[in-house]
Structure 1
């Protein structure tokens, strides 16, 4: 594994129906791959942050605390979307906790309500990633709305600062991954912003990762039977997804 490679977008079992393994298992795999650092970015909470932090220190891995937040729909985007935030220091951690709490208190259980307007004054010490296909930038590109994608990226740049926004390029072996990554990289060059490059640009690790296919144990039989194929939860191969995005380790420094 490349010594500068760091996974910055990983979910544990604390992201129900999205992650399938414990923070400790993620860290064991990171250690096996020789990673120096790992970020945990569970959905809308820091449920596993303490055990992740302690377990990472025990393994000699730098823990990066983050979360993938759900952003409420607004006039510029008609549905909820995702945004990944990483705490760069204590100030960033405090702001991340504030944003998570505000979203959870404003919404209903399981449906946080956090608007981008609420980020004002709360972005110091935070690094923003454009996130998965449910991120606004990526969603606009998939809809071939390049101007809207560029405007969204510009808004994030103004909100977090040009040195704290990264375009996230994912390679999960989906049919449109390569084309989407190329379009995202082009956006990053136009602003310009840095890119979180796909792992294939550093080292071909797919053959080194064991395939983990989560079973249906976290979905009740009645729920499985009642859902049509388009409504069934998509289970991801969490371990195979580990270490698919990269950035230099020394770009993120945590204080003890």
Structure 2
């Protein structure tokens, strides 16, 4: 394969996309090296559980790791629970892929994924536009699959709204940091929005990039992944109404296969390399994980730790615990604090 026909996977789910992704990180790293992939991204649903393992195993195989997530983004505020008044075909929660350009971007991914659980959880850990704007530095955004905001609007024939949403995300992330994704797994919905996506890119000036939304490693893993979806949804393999992806093409495709699919539009594939070059997260070899707390002049760090520990103990003893049990709690606290 010629160097100019390389490709970088920017949308990929490992088995840390629980009960949805079926790619194990170790075999993925070896397969990426075998296919001479220059880089690969991890974009699990709403979490960074696999990021550190992915980072080290990819580097060990000589493949550049790109750290990201496929975040759930709420239609309105993340603080609002429930779908609200939805139009036919409208979703309360959409997807957006976020990739870290640098360590600042990685730290913002950590904040976004944490706040999504702490403040935005409703069925899924959700962010919103306000939170994304607050923690947008160092990030690249992709419009995601057909569950992304612009694609889902195009599926409902709302082209102007899709254009406004795309420009809004570009404004939040900064010009040059937002791309429209185009995917081809053989789904009718993807075929339906292919031309509108091209038109949307021309109208907004936001570039298109080809992705594959990989959920399993090899094409032979499709049945195993189908079974995984049944486990996740509480269905059996014989249930005609069960969730299915409707295509056998969600595996980790080679660059040759991606060029066979999108080769008539080479810029869509070249942009995967362009985005890869923008992303360069390097974790420090050793990270001091112990935070520094300001200590009043009248205390050493040891005496201040003891003070705040006992202050908290007394508050909880007064508010929560029954006095009959206080002796045992006090004895335990003495041991732990000392």
TM-score of the pair, normalised by structure 2: 0.65
Q: 1:56 to 1:235 in 2, by over 3 A?
A: farther
Matched with 1:224 is 235
| CA deviations over 1:164-194 (Å, ceiling 9, x no partner) | 0001111112234344233212211211012
Q: Indicate if the aligned counterparts of 1:40 and 1:66 stay in contact, CA closer than 8 A.
A: yes
TM-superposed deviation, 1:231? 4.6
Q: 1:144 to 1:91 in 2, by over 3 A?
A: same
TM-superposed deviation, 1:78? 4.9
Q: Indicate if the aligned counterparts of 1:17 and 1:233 stay in contact, CA closer than 8 A.
A: no
Q: Indicate if the aligned counterparts of 1:85 and 1:128 stay in contact, CA closer than 8 A.
A: yes
| CA deviations over 1:6-50 (Å, ceiling 9, x no partner) | 100000111123211212222222222211000000000011111
Report whether the alignment pairs 1:103 with 2:116: yes
How many residues align? The count is 247
Report whether the alignment pairs 1:28 with 2:30: yes
| CA deviations over 1:80-108 (Å, ceiling 9, x no partner) | 00000000000100111101000011244
Q: Indicate if the aligned counterparts of 1:57 and 1:63 stay in contact, CA closer than 8 A.
A: yes
Q: Which is bigger in relative contact order (C-alpha 8 A, separation at least 6)? A: 1
Bigger mean CA deviation after superposition, 184-193 or 70-79: 70-79
Matched with 1:70 is 72
Q: Which runs of 5+ in 2 are unaligned?
A: 77-83, 213-217, 259-267, 284-338
Q: Give matches, 1:1-256, under 5 Å.
A: 1=1, 3=3, 4-74=6-76, 78-108=91-121, 111-197=124-210, 210-215=219-224, 216=227, 219-220=230-231, 223-225=234-236, 229-232=240-243, 234=245, 237=248, 238-240=250-252, 246=269, 247-248=272-273, 249-256=276-283
